[in-house]
Structure formats: C-alpha cells, structure tokens
Chain A
C-alpha cells in the first residue's frame, strides 16, 4: 500500500456510511499530509439551513488525517489491511486547538480538505488543516495528479478556491478496541 490515493474512504475509515465526510483521497504523503474531497450531501445539511456544519468540517479534517492518515501508518507497520486494523484498533478524537470559520459550503458544493501532519508518535497524530470550496466543474483529479510535495508544503491551491475554514492542532490517537468496548 503506497498511499491513500485510490483507496475508497469507506475502506480507509471505520465509520458507517452516514458518518463519512470524505468522497475521495486526491493526494497523500504518509509523513506530510493528505488531501481529500467531499461534496456536501442532503443528510449533511438537514435541519441546518442548507449549510455544511463547522463541526462536520472538523470531523472531515479528522477523518482524513488522524483517522485515515494515522491508520495508514499502522497498516503499513503491521502489514494489515484497514479492515484488519479496525478489528483491533479504533482512532479517536482527543483534542483540538483553534477553529476559524471564514465562509460556508452549501449542499451540492464540493470541499477540499488539506490536512498537514504536524506530529506523529505511537499512533497519536496531530494535524492542522484548511478546507476550501471548489468551483463547480473543476477537475480535481487532473489538478492533483501531478501535485508535488513542495506544492503541498506551500498549501498551493488555485486562485479560485475559496478558503472556508482553518483548524489547528487536531489530535487523535489509535487505541485498542478493548479500551472502547470494556
């Protein structure tokens, strides 16, 4: 397994379908970070004035980074698939720093999640990231196909991507399932 790109989020995440906030991994470097996309669905905006909630944006960032990105490292170390890993471990949210919401994303619009891995040790990962709104019809696969490590480090995005939010120092950890189930 070289990267998360090409792996469906419903495989890379332990969550059930109603709680998955990622559609596709577009770029990934196990030591640097991950970029994923998500188009806002009706279930996400029910009872919320047609807008994707800030709390769910945090969840999307967390799923991309401290769950999928974190679990990927364990899968490689332990030579396990994601389903095998999730039989033994789950990846839980621990804490976060600052949350800044600058704009909003509506039902049917697409978000890009840029998550930078700030720290990783013993299955505990800290990530910082931004969420952008993507213009209609933008070919994300084509744009990120040749995206480089340097592009990622500079947070390079097209000028017509709108920055929606920024979340700092989101921390999560992989723990044994027996800890949760006892």
Chain B
C-alpha cells in the first residue's frame, strides 16, 4: 500500500469523525497536524488510531502510540510500519 493510499484511508476515517471539519480535509497533506490544522480534540486522536487499526487491518501496541504526536505523517509512518510487518 502506498503512503498516498494510506492518506486516502485516513481521510475516509476523518470524514466520519464529527469533530473534524470535512472542508479542511480537501487540503490535507502529510504535513497536516490533526490538532492545529484540523482542530481535532487531542482526546480524539486515540479514536482515530483505533479506527485506523480496523481500516487497515493492523494492530498497534500501546507503546507505539506514546510518542506518536499529532501529525498526519507520524500516523502514516505508524500504519506503514504495521503493514510492512504483517
């Protein structure tokens, strides 16, 4: 799966995340920050990652999330690494 495909999958998740303004998703890139750019509540990041597990059929460990940060790039890195391990 390419990083662009992962990004598109994340956009699908975010389109169904009520706290995220879907209009802002049109300009999303890997440099986008979930909190500062998309105004997602920080507490929602965990839910986004949990949905990514289901979406991409991968499993993350609690420790993977500790240093994740709130960037789209970081999340794509995490998903790509999990896909490569699978």
On whether A171 and B62 interact (CB within 8 A), knowing A121-B50, A122-B49, A122-B50, the answer reads: no
B50 to chain A, nearest CB (A): 5
On whether A124 and B43 interact (CB within 8 A), knowing A175-B66, A176-B66, the answer reads: yes
Residue of A nearest to B66 (CB): A176
> Which residue of B41, B42, B60 contacts A122 across the interface (Cβ within 8 Å)?
B60
Q: B1 within 8 Å of A by Cβ?
A: no
Q: How far is the CA of A145 from the CA of B4 in the complex (A)?
A: 55
Within 8 A of B (CB), among A69-122: 74, 77, 94-95, 121-122
A115 to chain B, nearest CB (A): 18
Within 8 A of B (CB), among A153-182: 171, 173-176, 179
* Chain B residues, CB < 8 A from A94: 42-43
Q: Binding site of B, secondary structure by majority: helix, strand, loop or mixed?
A: helix
B59 to chain A, nearest CB (A): 11
Whether A122 contacts B43 by the Cβ 8 Å rule is no
* Chain B residues, CB < 8 A from A179: 66
Q: How far is the CA of A121 from the CA of B42 in the complex (A)?
A: 14
A-B contact count (CB 8 A): 28
Within 8 A of A (CB), among B31-86: 41-43, 46-47, 49-50, 60, 62, 65-67
Q: A123 within 8 Å of B by Cβ?
A: yes
Most buried by A among B42, B43, B46: B46
A70 to chain B, nearest CB (A): 11
> Which residue of B41, B42, B43, B62 contacts A123 across the interface (Cβ within 8 Å)?
B62
Residue of B nearest to A74 (CB): B62
Closest 6 CB pairs of A and B: A124-B46, A122-B65, A121-B50, A123-B62, A122-B62, A122-B46
Please report A residues at the B interface, Cβ cutoff 8 Å. 74, 77, 94-95, 121-124, 171, 173-176, 179
- Sample (27) of A-B pairs whose CB atoms are under 8 Å apart: A74-B62, A77-B62, A94-B42, A94-B43, A95-B41, A95-B43, A121-B46, A121-B47, A121-B49, A121-B50, A122-B46, A122-B49, A122-B50, A122-B60, A122-B65, A123-B62, A123-B65, A124-B43, A124-B46, A171-B43, A173-B43, A173-B46, A174-B62, A175-B66, A176-B66, A176-B67, A179-B66
